[in-house]
Structure 1
Amino acid sequence: MPTLRRTLGLLAIPAVALATALPAATAAHAAPENATAAATSSPTVRPDAAAGGWLARQLVDGDHFESVFNGTAYPDQGLTIDAVLAFAASRGSDEAAAKATAWLAKPEIIGGYLGDGTTEAYAGATAKLLLAVEVRGGDPAAFGGVDLPARLRSLQTAEGRFSDRSQWGDYSNAFGQSLAVIALHRTPGGAPAAAVDFLANSQCADGGFPLSFGQAACTSDADATALAVQALAATGRAAKANTGLGWLTAHQNADGGFAAAGATASNANSTGLATQALLSGGRLGPGLKAWGRLVKLQQGCSADPAVRGAVAYDATGFNAGNGARATAQAVLGLAGTPLSTLSASGAAPDAPTQACPPAPATR
């Protein structure tokens, strides 16, 4: 059985994948509303800002998220990184983002997430953290004592795939490959051509991209396609990216949303990533339709004040167990900024609240 460190390494998978990669009993552990995540707040009518502000107030001890395994809470570096990216996309909650980034740099936190770099090293986790540090404007070559670009490049195989180095096996997939291409594209050395080729060549015959590599049947996945499209567009593979966007458009649900692999109902995570890819890729019609679906899933002024701004995972309503994961990736779609150019520069420090009219006076 994998050790706890190996389990934590799996948290490199973006939040949307955790719904299938981890047991159903696993849930994000969030702090109560108005805990210590943000000292100040201001009302906003922007859906992305309101969602980011709510997410900031859910951070445990104001700087991280946790997940529960068999009744025990563990640090959730993956979800914390999702939140850092969401804060940048929403152009706010920068105070919370700075605290979360400092938490990620702690030796015990970064080591548990990336592996020790020798016997254990996880490609997806390294790529995701590298992207977050770049978005925050930090020094990726010396983050928490780790040279993230060098570590990631060391995990590239001869065929161009970024793979885990682990006694527990290789859990790398298309999410990690796409994030690695995007993150390395943002470095002075750029993304290796072999890595871009490997991702481009993984495209299924129908135009979408699979989550897992090397399967007998290439099965396109909305989440994997959304990330691959962004990676390929950033690295000049316009034809491949456009074909992927076409697949997304053809597989959009009637309500505007997108479903996870093997499901039919729209969810906020898949819809958030797809919306980000569509809007940044110039597919404004389907992109705005998907954006509207995310807004409908957002908790508005009629909801409990403690959850206003949060985004429900699906149409069944808000669930505290998956609300943080759903909201983090929904923000990416609500903002529409591609990961290749996402930056925290100029983000406001406070965590906004959903602007609502005052309650009517009672006698």
Structure 2
Amino acid sequence: MPLRRTAALALSALVAAPVLAAAPAAAEPVTTEPVTTREPVAAAAGWLARQLVDGERFETVIGTDTYPDQGLTIDALLAFDAAGVAQDNARKALAWLGKPEVIGGYVTDDQGSRYAGAHAKLALAVLAQGGDPTDFGGVDLIAGLTALQAPSGRFTDRTTPPTDYTNSFTQSIAVIALERHDAAPGVAVDFLANSACPDGGFPLKFEQPTCTSQVDATAMAVQALLAAGRTATATEGLDWLVTQQADDGGFRDNGLPGDQGTTSNANSTGLAAQALRVGGRTAAADRAVAHLTGLQVGCGDDRTAGAIAYDGAGFKPGNAVRATTQAVLGLSGVGLAEISSAGDKPAAPVLDCTTTTTTTTTTTTTTEEPAPSTSDTTPAAPAAGSAGELARTGVATGPALLLGVLLVLAGALAMALGRKRYTTVKEEQ
């Protein structure tokens, strides 16, 4: 298999891939004056948009070679649609994905191999953007996907040499995409539903000697089954998912080896929060969202403000993009079956780090407007070890208090001397 296709598959697989040795290629700095926001989900999506290369795509660098990352680009596009912002970038991304050389290097390869997951994921992105998946870039993604369905109902790859990269993510996304287009074949839904483990969760890999439920796979399967009307089986998956929520509100990837799966991470938490919200588990979803906002980078550095760190260790360039894409899904609460670009805003906003000033006749007081909550309930405090709370000014309480005292004294002196009073003060961020 050509290196180009092998690298693309490894890096755009339909499973959460939060920790990678190769980081996405850096984007060029944006110089235009941006729209600002205090909404965590919009700030995260805006940061994500500014990481795109040429505002349209993600690339992955391995050694001295650079490869297009169609899978990560689609993840970002879906995040923009879920957040309701960055549609200028979403449209550019879709146009890039529709180029013959780009789509051809993703759903197939130069040896004639065909990939079910790529067909399903791209079809979902096209549908979310209001496009026609039966004619995208000259490719009928729906026909291509259904042609890869086995008699058992499972969607599989057909490659040369024979290699199958499909898993529960593939099946779930295929069911969602086909349901959104028309209706998923009953046999395909049956295959997914019947793959559930005895505890109610869903495995990442099918037909293993031991059925081991995995958080990410269960979150995806639940959304697919709800979209297909299989409420009873989806409910059992939600029940299992709730039991996996950590005390900090987050979810760990119990499919990772060793110590990697022992702590909560943004990818698993984002997918779980999305599924819980769609499934009506409001309290658990709110706790997961609180964990995600606790991982969000606050003010202090314009280059990272708004991003979602992978875990409590803080922002790391190598995994922040992939963590943010799936965290946005959880913050938005919009399911994959409903994500749409309709009515979304074109700009990619930045986190608003300014303060609001109020003035009296004798003193000047600077107050900070709190960032709005992303849930209907009172938000929990940021998780311990968080990367920074949203809209943090970065100014310590002690110096701020001293500044207020000095301003009061200065105002009194100005009144006594009949000199012109200051009426406003803007705190530098």
TM-score of the aligned structures, taking structure 1 as reference length: 0.93
**Match of residue 181, structure 2, among 180, 183, 187:** 187
Correspondence for 1:269 among 267, 270, 274: 267
8 Å CA contact 2:111, 2:160 repeated in 1: no
Larger Rg: 2
Which of 305, 318, 321 is residue 315 of structure 2 equivalent to?
318
State the alpha-carbon separation in 2 of the partners of residues 192 and 108 from structure 1.
Answer: 30
CA contact (8 A) 2:60 2:68 kept: yes
SS of residue matched to 2:184: coil
How many residues align? The count is 353
Shift of 1:138: 0.9
Q: State the AA in 1 paired with 2:50.
A: R
| Residue in 2 that maps onto 1:26 | 22
Separation in 2, partners of 1:152, 1:68: 29
Task: Give, in whole Å, the separation in 2 of the partners of 1:146 and 1:279.
Answer: 34
Task: State the Cα distance separating 1:327 from its structure 2 match.
Answer: 0.6
Q: Distance in 2 between matches of 1:129 and 1:345?
A: 18
The Cα offsets for residues 236-274 of structure 1, whole Å up to 9 and x where unpaired, read as 110111111111100111111111123110110110000
- For 1:61 and 1:180, locate their aligned partners in 2 and report how far apart those are by CA, in whole Å: 30
Aligned pairs (5 A) from 1:171-210: 171-188=165-182, 190-210=183-203
Deviation at 1:213, TM superposition (A): 0.8
State the SS of the aligned residue for 2:24.
strand
Aligned equivalents of 2:23, 2:303: Cα separation in 1: 19
Query: In the alignment, residue 72 of structure 2 is paired with which amino acid?
Result: L
SS at 1:321 equivalent: helix
Residue 420 of structure 2 corresponds to none
CA contact (8 A) 1:11 1:113 kept: no
Q: Aligned ranges for residues 48-127 of structure 1 at < 5 Å?
A: 48-116=41-109, 119-127=112-120
5 Å-filtered alignment, 1:285-300, equals 285-300=283-298
Q: Which amino acid aligns with 1:333?
A: G
> In structure 2, what residue type is equivalent to 1:53?
G
Q: Write the letter of the residue equivalent to 1:201.
A: N
Change (3 A) 1:40 1:346: farther
* Distance in structure 1 (CA, Å) of the matches to 2:18 and 2:67: 15
The yes-or-no answer on 1:347 pairing with 2:341 is no
Task: Write the distance in 2 (CA, Å) between the matches of 1:214 and 1:71.
Answer: 38
Instruction: Tell me which amino acid in the other structure corresponds to 1:27.
Output: A
More moved, 40-49 vs 115-124: 115-124
Could you tell which deviates more after superposition, 341-350 or 3-12?
3-12
Output the amino acid matched with 1:25.
A
Shift of 1:70: 2.7
Alpha-carbon offset, residue 27 of structure 1 = 1.8
* 1:62/1:15 CA distance change after superposition, 3 Å: farther
Task: For residue 316 of structure 2, give the secondary structure of its aligned residue in structure 1.
Answer: coil
Aligned-pair CA distance for 1:68: 1.8
Q: C-alpha distance in 2, partners of 1:33/1:319? A: 18
Question: 1 or 2 for the larger relative contact order (CA 8 Å, sep ≥6)?
Answer: 1
Tell me the distance in 1 between the aligned counterparts of 2:214 and 2:30: 37
3-state SS of 1:132 partner: helix
- Which residue is equivalent to 1:281? 279
- Which residue of 303, 313, 333 maps to 2:330? 333
Distance 1:33 1:265 in 2: 33
Partner-residue secondary structure (3-state), 2:204? coil
State the partner residue of 2:384.
none
In the TM superposition, what is the alpha-carbon distance from 1:117 to its structure 2 partner?
9.4
Quote the residue 1:170 is aligned against.
164
- Mapped to 2, the partners of 1:12 and 1:320 lie a distance apart of 18
> Which ranges in structure 2 are unaligned for 5 or more consecutive residues?
356-392, 394-425
Conservation of the 8 A alpha-carbon contact between 2:12 and 2:69: no
Q: Structure 1: which 5+ residue stretches go unaligned?
A: none
Deviation digits for residues 286-343 of structure 1, max 9, x if unmatched? 1100000000001112x31211110001110001111111111100000000100110
Aligned-residue RMSD, C-alpha? 1.7
Distance of 2:29 and 2:234 partners within structure 1: 40
Q: Alignment partner of 1:183: what SS? A: helix
